[in-house]
Amino acid sequence: MATVAGTSKKIDEPYFVLATQNPLEMEG
């Protein structure tokens, strides 16, 4: 979960892994 646009890009890699594990979160 990232609120800052700058940080969102940095955690884009690790966040993607979580999204794959939690497809429900990606939709929500």
What are the domain boundaries of the chain?
Answer: 1-28
Q: What is the pLDDT of residues 1-26, one digit of tens each?
A: 555 555 555 555 666 666 666 666 65
pLDDT recorded at residue 23: 61
pLDDT recorded at residue 25: 61
User: Comparing C-alpha atoms, which of 4, 5, 2 is closest to residue 25?
Assistant: 2
In three state form, how does the secondary structure of 1-28 look?
CCCCHHHHHHCHHHHHHHHHHCHHHHHC
- Report whether 26 contacts 15 (CB < 8 A): no
Note if the pTM is more than 0.75: no
pLDDT recorded at residue 10: 59
pLDDT recorded at residue 16: 63
User: Comparing C-alpha atoms, which of 2, 23, 25 is closest to residue 13?
Assistant: 2
